[in-house]
């Protein structure tokens, strides 16, 4: 399995500026914006076919699983000093999962969870919590940010207990809201609700987990949280979206995005071409178009990525979304100013578009992980069926 990255690279989250030759750099503002998928380098001698990627705004953590696990860090402060970085990486051996934020790196082991302060040069973790091993718990295995009996937050206190009646399966955390998926397929949300990201039909916040009633009765298999938007996948591979859509991150018509595109066209002179329409006609047409624009979607809405595909994996950035279909194609939409949509340009989109790079290279996308302003995709070589 190979990993590719594209989007915001100001801190070297995707590639090291100094080690990559000019002929290999792609995208506008080479060091900062990577607009076409670029294969990641691990920067380590450990070999593993199974790699787990987690990303924050300025950092990326790569956990190589199998045998004795190995952790690699890239981005801002990845190597604050040889001594402190070496202590952290050495101490991470044997961990089973990783979660990274702007302040902390959280490691999960079979018997404990540790949080390392990335803003300090320390030889020991700043926080640790013992947990029961998976053999002592019931239900499916839990991955970070969930742990047995609670979940990991991005800011102290780093561990918070969770009501056992929820029977959590997975949890997605944004900067200010959370989405929880239960073992039965129900979805609960809580936290900030100012942009409709909780899916309860309003803009109020919730201090405690509250079920998303609009999805009640439909079993969900996966959830993801963006900066101010939320996404989930149903048993049948349908995608539901809600929250803020100013940059088209829901895949719904965005007034803010359309205005930005019109301004760009105007600056290029395209909008001043004569169309044969009167001012009244254009005003009436504009009013009709504005009626379909969606700034905030406070209830979950069904999104058709393509007419006949099923979605198996989804991830959210700050203002963009990426989804992998069962056929192995990657679709992205939303804010694209740093190339995080992977379409070899810096254009935003309020419609899901296929990342053609992987199709052209005969690659099958199997997983996707979004950082705040970038995207990472795992691929395998497509199997070519030979007709007998």
> 């990426």: which residue's tokens?
322
pLDDT at 345 over 50: yes
Mean pLDDT estimate for the chain: 86
CA distance 349 to 153: 31
What pTM did the predictor assign?
0.88
Instruction: Return the pLDDT at 133.
Output: 62
Contact 57, 9 (CB under 8 A): no
Judging by DSSP bridges, how do beta strands 220-225 and 206-211 pair with one another? unpaired
Given pLDDT bands bounded at 50, 70 and 90, which one contains residue 29?
Answer: low
Contact 103, 129 (CB under 8 A): no
Which of these ranges, 84-93, 208-217, 235-244, has the smallest mean pLDDT?
84-93
Could you read off the pLDDT of 278-330 as tens digits, one per residue?
555 555 555 555 558 999 999 999 999 987 889 999 999 999 999 999 999 99
109-118, 143-152, 210-219, 270-279, range with greatest mean pLDDT: 210-219
Contact 242, 252 (CB under 8 A): no
Write down the domain spans for the chain: 42-159
pLDDT at 23 over 50: no
CA distance 143 to 65: 14
Q: How many residues does the chain have?
A: 388
Given pLDDT bands bounded at 50, 70 and 90, which one contains residue 27?
Answer: very low
């Amino acid at each position: 399995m190979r990993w590719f990255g594209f989007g915001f690279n100001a801190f070297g989250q995707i590639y090291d500026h100094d080690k990559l030759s000019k002929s290999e750099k792609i995208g506008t503002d080479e060091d900062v914006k990577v607009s076409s998928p670029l294969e990641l380098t691990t920067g380590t001698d450990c070999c593993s076919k199974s790699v787990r990627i987690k990303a924050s705004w300025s950092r990326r953590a790569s956990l190589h699983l199998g045998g004795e696990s190995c952790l690699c860090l890239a981005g801002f402060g990845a190597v604050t000093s040889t001594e402190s970085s070496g202590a952290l990486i050495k101490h991470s051996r044997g961990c089973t999962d990783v979660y990274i934020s702007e302040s902390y790196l959280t490691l999960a082991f079979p018997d404990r969870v540790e949080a390392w302060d990335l803003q300090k040069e320390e030889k020991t973790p700043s926080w640790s919590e013992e947990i029961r091993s998976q053999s002592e718990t019931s239900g499916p295995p839990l991955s970070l940010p969930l742990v047995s009996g609670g979940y990991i937050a991005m800011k102290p206190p780093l561990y918070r207990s969770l009501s056992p009646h929820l029977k959590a399966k997975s949890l997605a955390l944004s900067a200010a809201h959370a989405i929880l998926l239960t073992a039965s397929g129900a979805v609960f949300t809580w936290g900030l609700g100012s942009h409709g990201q909780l899916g309860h039909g309003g803009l109020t916040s919730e201090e405690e987990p509250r079920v998303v009633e609009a999805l009640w009765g439909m079993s969900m298999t996966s959830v993801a949280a963006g900066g101010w938007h939320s996404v989930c996948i149903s048993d049948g591979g349908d995608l539901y979206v809600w929250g803020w859509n100013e940059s088209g991150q829901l895949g719904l018509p965005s007034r803010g995005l359309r205005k930005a595109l019109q301004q760009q066209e105007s600056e290029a002179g395209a909008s001043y071409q004569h169309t044969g329409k009167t001012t009244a006609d254009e005003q009436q047409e504009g009013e009709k178009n504005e009626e379909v624009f969606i700034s905030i979607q406070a209830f979950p809405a069904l999104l058709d990525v393509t007419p006949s595909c099923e979605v198996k994996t989804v991830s959210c950035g700050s203002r963009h979304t990426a989804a992998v279909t069962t056929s192995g194609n990657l679709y992205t939409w939303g804010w694209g100013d740093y190339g995080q949509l992977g379409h070899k340009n810096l254009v935003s989109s309020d419609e899901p578009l296929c990342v053609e790079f992987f199709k052209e290279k005969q690659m099958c996308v199997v997983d996707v992980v979004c950082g705040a302003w970038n995207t990472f995709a795992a691929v395998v070589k497509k199997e070519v069926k030979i007709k007998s």
